[in-house]
Amino acid sequence: MQLSSGALSLSPPIFLAPLAGITDLPFRQIVSRFGAGMVVSEMVASQDMVIGRAGTREKTELGLEAENTAVQLAGREARWMAEAARMVEANGAQMIDINMGCPAKKVVTGYSGSALLKDLDHALGLIEAVVGAVKLPVTLKTRLGWDDTNLNAPELAKRAEAAGIQMITIHGRTRCQFYKGRADWAAIARVKDAVSIPVIANGDITNLNSAKQALALSGADGIMVGRGVQGRPWLLSELAHELFQAPKVARPNLKEFGQLVAEHYDSILQFYGRDLGVRVARKHLGWYMDEAGTAQALRRKILTAATPEDVFEVLPDAMEQEQAA
């Protein structure tokens, strides 16, 4: 199944969510290798990117053939959002996603992310600035509303569509819920009814059963998966095959799994440098070991290893356990 809207064309409609500190270039490349309709970068603060604050440019680095990659921008001022969008376009991005859903306190207190759900006029000014600054497709990711008394995602979606947004992803919680409780997939249906552009369901989608439920209850055109992919970069391809008849991609066997983890670890070291890379990689190694069912002694040895050489030495034994179902 191919999802199309204006200049946007994505297939299959199963996407990798932006995850702070996780969906960097090495991880996006691993997920894309198995298959995903779109992968989204970590959220990038627009003003930080423009003034060149350390780390923000690395977050948007795309590689040469990243045709299914969107860079997610956040901000509160139209001039910074527009300039960051132009920089991203010049950097080779194929799509730009605007973040109006992050519930983190440091983002919301800066009047960015889901704080914009409290001021739709200001939110629209940012959307218009980005859409007007670039020729790329621009999408939007947000939540159901600020709280249960202000469920204004349908109104935002309708106005965003009129401003040129080509797809909208809805996390099925309000900002005030953060990540508590369960995502309300049925509430996303009100957004779907309000617009003609594609609507993507997000939140608590971690396996085939939850993916089916999210699509059925929301009526959405596709899904976006975040935490469920941690340690399982092949998950999107499996869901795409089951839900949208995409070509089947085999899950790696034990030996292939170990090779995959070693390759991902090495790409992290290359991307961040040796010292920072060792620290950044630990969370990924932890998720991979969850999937592999690694024994506690080996797990501890890897997560406390001081050098990459120490990790590579024991990695094959740690990953060639019996993989979790």
Which of 17, 85, 95, 102 is an active site residue?
102
SS3 141: strand
Closest CA to 148 of 118, 176, 111: 176
Hey, which bits of 161-258 come out as E strands? 168-171, 199-202, 222-225
| 176 noted as active-site residue | no
Alpha-carbon distance of 42 to 49, in angstroms, equals 13
Tokens coding 67: 């045709």
Amino acid letter, 113:
G
For 125, half-sphere exposure in the C-beta direction (CA atoms, 13 angstrom radius) is 12
- Tell me the CA end-to-end span of the chain in Å, nearest whole number: 27
CB atoms within 10 A of CB 198: 20
CA distances from 162 to 45, 86, 137, 250, 289 (A): 25, 21, 14, 41, 46
CA distances from 190 to 144, 184, 259, 274 (A): 10, 11, 44, 48
Hey, which bits of 234-301 come out as E strands? none
Alpha-carbon distance of 301 to 275, in angstroms, equals 18
For 163, half-sphere exposure in the C-beta direction (CA atoms, 13 angstrom radius) is 26
Tokens coding 234: 């092949």
Alpha-carbon distance of 280 to 265, in angstroms, equals 9
Active site residues: 102
